[in-house]
C-alpha cells in the first residue's frame, strides 16, 4: 500500500479528490531538476517553473490546464491535459484527460495510476 501525503488546500479550486493526483503529478514533473509550464487556455500562467507551491497555486484557475514538463536542460518531455471537476469526485485519475503519447509521460501516468487508479477519494 502506498501512503500519499498531500496538502489538502492546493490547488485551491480543484476538487478535493483531484488534489493528491495533481500534487504527485507536479512532484514527478519536477524530479531531477525538471521545470513546468502551465497553459490555462488563455495564457501561460506559469512558465519554466520549479516551485511546486507556485505551480499548484496556478492550477485550476480555469476549467482546464495543459501542464507541460521539461527536463533540466529545457527539453520538452510532454504534456498532461487536466480537466477539473470532470467526474473525478469518484475516480481521481479522471482529472488527467489526455497526455503525450511517449515513454516519459506513459511512465508518469502509469505510476499515478498505480497509486490512485481504482480508488475513490
Separation between Cα atoms, residue 83 and residue 66, nearest integer Å: 9
Q: Quote the pTM value.
A: 0.91
Domain limits, the chain: 32-115
- For the cut 90, the answer to whether the pLDDT of residue 119 exceeds it is no
Percentage of the chain with pLDDT > 70? 91
C-alpha 30: how far from chain center? 11
pLDDT mean over 86-95: 81
Dig out the grid coordinates for 64 from the structure. 482546464
For 46-87, the pLDDT digits (tens) are 999 999 999 999 999 999 999 999 999 999 999 999 999 987
Amino acid at each position: 500500500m502506498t501512503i500519499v501525503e498531500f496538502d489538502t488546500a492546493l490547488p485551491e479550486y480543484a476538487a478535493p479528490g483531484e488534489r493528491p493526483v495533481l500534487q504527485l503529478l507536479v512532484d514527478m514533473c519536477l524530479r531531477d531538476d525538471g521545470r513546468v509550464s502551465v497553459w490555462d487556455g488563455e495564457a501561460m500562467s506559469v512558465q519554466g517553473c520549479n516551485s511546486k507551491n507556485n505551480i499548484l497555486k496556478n492550477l485550476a484557475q480555469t476549467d482546464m490546464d495543459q501542464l507541460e514538463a521539461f527536463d533540466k536542460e529545457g527539453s520538452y518531455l510532454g504534456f498532461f491535459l487536466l480537466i477539473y471537476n470532470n467526474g473525478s469526485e469518484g475516480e481521481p485519475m479522471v482529472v488527467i484527460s489526455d497526455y503525450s503519447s511517449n515513454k516519459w509521460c506513459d511512465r508518469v501516468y502509469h505510476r499515478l495510476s498505480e497509486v490512485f487508479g481504482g480508488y475513490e477519494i
